[in-house]
Structure 1
Amino acid sequence: MKNHSEGNKTALSSLVLSLILLLFNSCSTLNPDDMQNSVDRIAARYVPDQREGISDIRVIEGKNHELVIRGETDSPELKQAVIDTLKKSGFIVRDSILVLPGVSLGEYRYGVVSLSVINLRREPGHDAELVSQTLMGTPVRVLKNEDYWLLIQTPDNYISWTEKSSVQLMSESDLKIWKDSPRLIYLNNSGWIYESPDEKGYVGDLVAGCIMKNAGSLKGFAKVILPDGREGYVRSNTVKEFNKWKDNTIPHSESVYKVASTMMGVPYLWGGSSAKAVDCSGFVQSVYFMNGIILSRDASLQAMHGLPVDISKGWNDLKEGDLLFFGSVRNLKHRVTHVAVYKGDGEFIHSAGRVMINSLDSTRSNYSSYRKNSLLSARRIIGAQGSKGIVAVKEHSWY
């Protein structure tokens, strides 16, 4: 289910093993810190960012040239690379690494979000940092199930904790039934699911991008079934058949800005990723999702993907819909902390306090010297679909 490229894994494994073996064999003895550092180097190659993968492997020195490796990862390839490296270096390896999802989950290793917007947190607790959100109908991979909390991975590969009550747990066969069922996607920025087609009584709320089962139509309303089995009605003119939407939605410059402009004034929320409230990268991700594209979650991740656009001589090469990245430079490296969607003519739309439009042109009333001085780079998403970090919804196997 995980949406990672399988190409070059064998070559990567061989390269990693060769480099680490060279390090091991260059020393007659290795202390535990040396061994841990070597394993960390392997882990960094297979899981370069802990926001999109899990790598927590510890090396403990045992007796008689024995090493105990403990911890967890969601990469079987990483686990095998560590074991192979240590064994080929002459160590006896005792493997205690858990590959997630663990067998304790049973068959319920997947799920579908059952509320309009759910909160995703860094740790399992209501006081933990809000790192993102995701929407009703989004398929997720379940990595852990602990008390009232689930560790999940969303289609953008982001890993976080959410309340168990927010997700309808499913087996792989359950998820296939969900995927094969006729579904609808909600198009308006906000709205309601009603108990009846006369709009009396409420079942729940909706935001743009929510996905529900289609159970027929009645009097200008679509009957819908939510992932947790609740039923209700939504106005037919606010939804579209999901398969037609994902197959026929082709992003272009004008459509990207058109969606972005409908969110003008939406308040800023750290970790927000819906039409209710957004942070800067959540705003960009939401805009592109409604144009049929799944982007990476955070600004610093988004800045790694897409086609580079030269801004060294100004903004003449920029096109509507391009992404602008802002931040600082430390030790000759960009530290991206903010992202915006380019509007054209030096203007950009972004979430900073609220969704607003600012300009790079000092003669404009909406000029932001802070943003102009902190502009680092630009990337073009349109035309880069299918590359790492830029996946069309119709090409994502989870949908």
Structure 2
Amino acid sequence: MRLTAILSALIMFMNLGAQEWALPVISVANVRDTTRHGSEMTTQVLMGTPLKVTQRMDCGWSAVITPEGYTGYIIDNSLTFLDEGCMDSWRKSPRLAVTSSYEIKAYSSPDIKSEPVTDLVPGDIVVDARICKKGFFKIELPDGRNGWVREDCVAPLETLNNGNVAEKVLESAVACMGTPYMWGGLSVKGMDCSGLTKLAYLSAGIIIPRDASQQALVGTTVDMDSLKKADLIFFGNPQTGRINHVAVYEGDGYCIESAGRVKRSLPESAGQIITARRYIGNEGREGIVPVIHHPWYFATESVKKRTVD
């Protein structure tokens, strides 16, 4: 049913005329299954995540599609809306991703004693104002506010996929240890099992599906005795094959999962193992997309220019 809804939304979007876009303006915005605060939070989106808007509603909510095709509703005061021209300018702008392993602040001046402008969490995206002062970068938030962040807490968005992907994925997962489980959560403030794996891969600049059942459909299947670091292990009902949990393999027989809290576990203690999947080496295939190659994030000519530079 969920996949059917995603396909229907994508078809509806492609049939629209003038397209509208949105960017979350807070560190973590909640996505719900209906236009009510009391409805189920199905996922979250991080500041600066490009969203396609399929409907603006009089009640102050908007229907959106995330870069991986997930659908839901976000209250408008968590978003800033852009037309195609403004969105294209954003794609071509120099941007920074938050790479710290914890929640940080953007300040009103390059001084941690100055007034905070906003909180930021790993994976948030801001525009680089190209000004560095006292170890801080000046940034512009999606709604136009300015702030200053420590230069060691951010990195150019296009560089996330550089380096050893497995190491980055596991560094992110380990840094989340102790974070409370939260259904639909996708940040260091709280996360569910697939939120952990999605955030860990995002830290390495790779967009993967949102839910565990969707994550189990992409990549290549691997045997449990052939696991490599950063492979995903899926758990569920062996009679029906239904997936209800996912963990990331750490190596030496251990995995990291979000169950109650983010923790290190033995795979056999995390549930009934259904399958395991390998994403590394499958980047660019269906469902495993480097941020730098996703057209919602970067204009093609912008990617080429930055690669050359």
TM-score, normalized by the shorter chain, greater than 0.5: yes
Runs of 4+ with deviation above 3 angstroms: 99-103
Q: Which has the larger radius of gyration?
A: 1
Q: In the aligned structure 2, how far is the partner of 1:396 from the partner of 1:218?
A: 32
Q: What does 1:368-379 align with in structure 2 at a 5 Å threshold?
A: 368=269, 371-372=270-271, 374-379=272-277
Measured on the aligned residues, the alpha-carbon RMSD in Å equals 1.8
Q: Does 1:217 find its partner at 2:141?
A: no
Alpha-carbon distance change, 195 to 379 in structure 1, aligned in 2, over 3 angstroms: same
Which of 151, 165, 176 does residue 252 from structure 1 map onto?
Answer: 165
1:137 aligns with 2:48: yes
Distance in 2, matches of 1:268 and 1:293, equals 22
Match of 2:104 among 191, 200, 205: 191
Tell me which residue corresponds to 2:197. Answer: 284
Q: Secondary structure at the match of 1:193?
A: strand
Over residues 206-248 of structure 1, what are the superposed CA-to-partner deviations in whole Å (9 max), with x where a residue is unaligned? 00011111111222111111010111111111111223x14x5
- Pick the aligned partner of 1:263 from 170, 176, 181: 176
Deviation at 1:143, TM superposition (A): 0.6
Q: Secondary structure, in 3 states, of the residue corresponding to 1:266? A: coil
1:127 to 24, 29, 38: 38
Conservation of the 8 A alpha-carbon contact between 1:185 and 1:211: yes
Partner of 1:338: 245
Q: CA deviation at 1:74?
A: 3.9
Residue type at the aligned position of 1:232: G
**Match of 1:382?**
280
- Provide the rounded CA distance (Å) in 2 between the counterparts of 1:266 and 1:217: 32
On the 8 A contact 1:148/1:164 being kept in 2, the answer is: yes
Q: Distance in 1 between matches of 2:220 and 2:149?
A: 39
1:180 aligns with 2:180: no
Q: TM-score, normalised by structure 2?
A: 0.90
> Conserved in 2, the CA contact under 8 Å of 1:102 and 1:144?
no
User: Which string of whole-angstrom CA distances, capped at 9 and with x for unpartnered residues, describes residues 43-87 of structure 1?
Assistant: x9xxx8135232xxxxxxxxxxxxxxxxxx541xxxxxxxxxxxx
**Residue in structure 2 matched with residue 112 of structure 1 by the alignment:** 23
Partners of 1:265 and 1:74 in 2: how far apart? 36
- Counterparts of 2:7 and 2:282 in 1: how far apart (Å)? 23
Distance 1:253 1:225 in 2: 31
Asked whether the 8 Å contact 2:10–2:69 carries over to 1, the reply is no
Structure 1 residue 251: deviation in Å?
4.7
What CA distance in whole angstroms lies between the structure 2 residues aligned with 1:270 and 1:198? 36
Q: Give the counterpart of 2:185 among 250, 257, 272.
A: 272
Contact 1:131 1:270 in 2 (8 A): yes
| Secondary structure, aligned partner of 1:157 | coil
Quick one: distance in 1 between partners of 2:135 and 2:223?
49
Distance 1:253 1:241, change over 3 A: closer
Query: Residue 61 of structure 1 corresponds to which residue in structure 2?
Result: none
| Preserved contact between residue 100 and residue 144 of structure 1 (Cα < 8 Å) | no
AA aligned to 1:201 is E
Which has the higher relative contact order, 1 or 2, with Cα contacts under 8 A spaced 6 or more apart?
2
Q: CA deviation at 1:277?
A: 0.7
Distance 1:360 1:172 in 2: 46
Q: Matched residue of 2:179: which SS?
A: coil
Aligned partners of 2:168 and 2:203 also within 8 Å: no
**In the alignment, what sits opposite 2:117?**
203
CA contact under 8 A between 2:32 and 2:43: conserved in structure 1? yes
SS at match of 2:3: coil
Structure 2: runs of 5 or more not aligned:
298-309
The 5 Å alignment of 1:43-58 reads 49-54=3-8
- Separation in 2, partners of 1:391, 1:317: 24
